[in-house]
Structure 1
Amino acid sequence: MEKIKYPVYDYIKFIWKKKLLLIGFTILCMVIGAALSYIKPTVYTSTALVFTGNGNNEKLSKPRLITDTYKDELPEDLSGSLDVKIAEPFQITLSLSGSDKKTVESNTKKVAEQYTNDLIERFNVQFEVQKNYKNSLEGALKKTEEAISEYNQLIQEASDEYKLLHYNEVLFNKEETAEKYRSDLNEAEYDLALAETPELMDVTTNQSSNNLLRNALLAGAFGFQLMLVLLVLWKYIINARRALSQRQ
Structure 2
Amino acid sequence: MEKIKYPVYDYIKFIWKKKLLLIGFTILCMVIGAALSYTKPTVYTSTAIVFTGNGNNDELSKPDLITGRYKEELPDELKSSLNVKADPFQITLSLSGTNKEAVESNMNKVAEQYTNDLIEDFDELHDAMANYRNALEKKVKNTEESITQYEQLIQDTSNDSKLISYSEILINKMDIADKYRADFHEAEYDLALLEEPKKSDVKTIQSSNNNLLKNTLLAGAFGFQLMLVLLVLWKYIINARRSLSQRQ
The answer, yes or no, to whether TM exceeds 0.5 is yes
Check conservation: 1:43, 1:98, Cα contact below 8 A.
yes
| SS in structure 1 at match of 2:58 | coil
Displacement of 1:29: 0.7
Written as runs of structure 1 = structure 2, the 5 A alignment for 1:90-101 is 90-101=89-100
Q: CA deviation at 1:31?
A: 0.6
1:41 corresponding residue in structure 2: 41
TM-score by length of 1: 0.89
Structure 2 unaligned runs (5+)? none
1:6-28 CA distances to partner (integer Å, 9 max, x unpaired)? 44333332222221111111110
Letter matched to residue 128 of structure 1: D
- Aligned equivalent of 2:137: 138
Distance 2:232 2:167 in 1: 102
Classify 1:34/1:169 alpha carbon distance in 2 versus 1 (closer, same or farther; 3 Å): same
Deviation at 1:5, TM superposition (A): 4.1
Gap change, CA 1:5 and 1:91, over 3 Å in 2: farther
Q: Does the CA-based 8 Å contact 1:147-1:174 persist in structure 2?
A: yes
Give the CA deviation at 1:151: 2.5
- What residue in structure 1 maps to residue 149 of structure 2? 150
Give the counterpart letter for 2:78 in structure 1. L
Aligned amino acid, residue 18 of structure 1: K
Moved more, 53-62 or 224-233: 224-233
Paired residue secondary structure (1:41): coil
- CA–CA distance in 2 between the matches of 1:58 and 1:34? 46
What's the CA shift for 1:79?
2.3
Q: Which residue of 2 aligns with 1:162?
A: 161
Pick which of 234-243 and 110-119 moved more. Answer: 234-243
Q: 1:226 to 1:162 in 2, by over 3 A?
A: farther
In structure 2, relative to structure 1, the CA distance for the partners of 1:81 and 1:160 (3 Å cut) is: same
Measured after TM superposition, the shift of residue 4 of structure 1 is: 4.3
Q: Mark the CA change 1:240 to 1:154 in structure 2 (over 3 Å): closer, same or farther.
A: farther
Query: Structure 1 residues 240 and 158 mapped into 2: Cα distance closer, same or farther (>3 Å)?
Result: farther
> How far off its partner does 1:119 sit?
0.8
Measure the CA separation in 2 of the matches of 1:15 and 1:220. 17
Secondary structure class of the residue paired with 1:66: helix
Summarize the Cα distance change of 1:148–1:236 in structure 2 as closer, same or farther, 3 Å threshold: farther
Structure 1: distance between partners of 2:61 and 2:215? 38
Identity of aligned residues (%): 73
Are residue 190 (structure 1) and residue 189 (structure 2) matched? yes
Distance in 2, Cα, partners of 1:3 & 1:74: 75
| Contact 1:34–1:212 (CA under 8 A) maintained in structure 2 | yes
Structure 1 position 50 matched with structure 2 position 41? no
Point out 4+ residue stretches in structure 1 off by more than 6 angstroms.
Answer: none
Corresponding position of 2:206:
207
Q: Displacement, 1:200? A: 0.8
CA distance in 1, matches of 2:224, 2:153: 101
Q: Secondary structure at the match of 2:95?
A: strand
RMSD over equivalenced CA pairs, Å: 2.1
Q: What CA distance in whole angstroms lies between the structure 2 residues aligned with 1:158 and 1:9?
A: 121
How far off is 1:240 after superposition? 4.0
Structure 2: distance between partners of 1:173 and 1:236: 103
- Normalised by the size of structure 2, how large is the TM-score? 0.89
Conserved? CA contact 1:50–1:202, under 8 Å: no
CA offset at residue 185 of structure 1?
1.5
1:243 to partner: Cα distance: 4.4
Q: Which residue does the alignment assign to 1:72? A: 72
What code does the residue aligned with 2:124 have?
A: V
Q: Tell me, which stretches of 5 or more residues in structure 1 are unaligned? A: none
* Greater displacement, 153-162 / 134-143: 153-162
Cα deviation, residue 244, structure 1: 4.6
SS at match of 1:184: helix
1:72-122, CA deviations, whole angstroms, 9 ceiling, x for partnerless residues?
Answer: 222222223222221x21211222222111111111111111111111111
Partner letter of residue 120 of structure 2? Answer: E
1:84 paired with 2:87, answer: no
Between 1:228-237 and 1:15-24, the stretch displaced more is 228-237
